C-alpha cells in the first residue's frame, strides 16, 4: 500500500485538528471590558499556543517518520489511526485544561492529569509506530537500521517520561504541568531546528 494516501489523510486530520483549536478561543462575556475579558481567559490563549505547538511538533515528526517508508502495511495504518485519535482528542483535553485552570480548585488537578494523559497517549502512539518501523526493515527505503535510531528513541522517550510524570505532578500543581509541557515543546523545537539539514526533494 502506498504511503501517499496515509500522508494525505494524516495531513488532513492534523490540519483540521490544529485549526479547530481556534474554536476554543471563545469571545469574552460582554459584561466586563474587552481587555478584562481577554485577560481573564489567559489560560485559554496559553493552552491554544501550547496545543498548537504540540500538534505542530508531532506533525513534523510524523512527516520525518513516514518519509522513511517505502510501503505501508495494514497494522501501520491502524497504528496511525490510533495516533490520529490521540491528536483529535487534544483540542478537547486542552479545552478542559484551560477551563479548569481558570476556575482553579480540585478539578484543575484532574483536568491537568487528563491533559497529561492525552499527551502521553500521543507520545506512546508515536513511539509504537517508531518501533514498528524499526522492526520491519521491509517497509523502509533503507533496510539498514537508521544510525540515529538510538538517539531518536531516547529523544522520543523524554516526552513520554515527562508526560507520564506530569500525571502525578498534576495533583501537586496544575500550572506546573502547563510549564513542563511548554518546556518539552520548546526542547523539541530547539532540538530539531539546531539539528537541521536540508534534504533533496
11-40 residues in contact with a second copy (CB under 8 A) are: 11-23, 25, 27, 30, 33-35
Helix (H, G, I), strand (E, B) or coil at 147: coil
Helix (H, G, I), strand (E, B) or coil at 69: strand
Residue placing its CB nearer to a second copy in the complex, 80 or 161: 80
Q: Contact with a second copy (CB under 8 A): which of 31, 74, 142, 147?
A: 74
Quote the crossing angle between the two packed helices 174-194 and 106-135, to the nearest 10°.
Answer: 30
Q: Kindly determine how many residues on this chain lie close enough to bind a second copy according to the rule CB under 8 A.
A: 73
Q: Contact with a second copy (CB under 8 A): which of 39, 77, 128, 172?
A: 77
Site for a second copy in 106-125 (CB under 8 A): 106-107, 110-111
Q: Contact with a second copy (CB under 8 A): which of 63, 149, 151, 157?
A: 63
CA angle in degrees (0–180, nearest 5) for 80-3-12: 60
- Cα-to-chain-centroid distance, residue 122: 6
Site for a second copy in 43-62 (CB under 8 A): 49, 52-53, 56, 59-60
With contact defined as beta carbons under 8 Å apart, do 133 and 72 qualify? no
Residue placing its CB nearer to a second copy in the complex, 98 or 161: 98
Number of Cβ atoms within 10 Å of the Cβ of 170: 24
Amino acid at each position: 500500500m502506498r504511503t501517499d494516501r496515509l500522508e494525505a489523510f494524516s495531513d488532513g486530520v492534523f490540519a483540521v485538528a490544529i485549526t479547530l483549536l481556534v474554536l476554543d478561543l471563545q469571545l469574552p462575556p460582554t459584561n466586563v471590558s474587552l481587555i478584562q475579558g481577554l485577560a481573564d481567559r489567559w489560560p485559554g490563549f496559553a493552552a491554544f499556543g501550547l496545543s498548537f505547538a504540540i500538534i505542530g511538533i508531532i506533525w513534523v515528526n510524523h512527516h520525518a517518520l513516514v518519509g522513511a517508508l517505502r510501503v505501508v502495511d495494514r497494522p501501520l495504518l491502524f497504528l496511525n489511526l490510533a495516533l490520529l485519535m490521540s491528536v483529535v482528542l487534544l483540542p478537547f483535553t486542552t479545552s478542559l485544561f484551560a477551563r479548569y485552570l481558570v476556575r482553579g480548585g480540585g478539578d484543575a488537578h484532574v483536568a491537568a492529569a487528563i491533559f497529561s494523559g492525552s499527551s502521553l497517549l500521543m507520545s506512546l502512539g508515536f513511539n509504537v509506530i517508531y518501533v514498528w518501523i524499526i522492526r520491519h526493515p521491509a517497509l523502509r527505503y533503507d533496510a539498514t537500521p537508521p544510525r540515529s535510531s538510538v538517539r531518536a528513541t531516547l529523544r522520543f522517550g523524554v516526552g513520554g517520561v515527562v508526560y507520564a510524570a506530569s500525571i502525578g505532578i498534576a495533583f501537586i500543581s496544575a500550572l506546573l504541568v502547563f510549564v513542563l509541557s511548554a518546556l518539552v515543546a520548546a526542547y523539541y523545537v530547539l532540538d530539531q531546528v539546531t539539528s537541521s539539514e536540508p534534504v533533496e526533494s
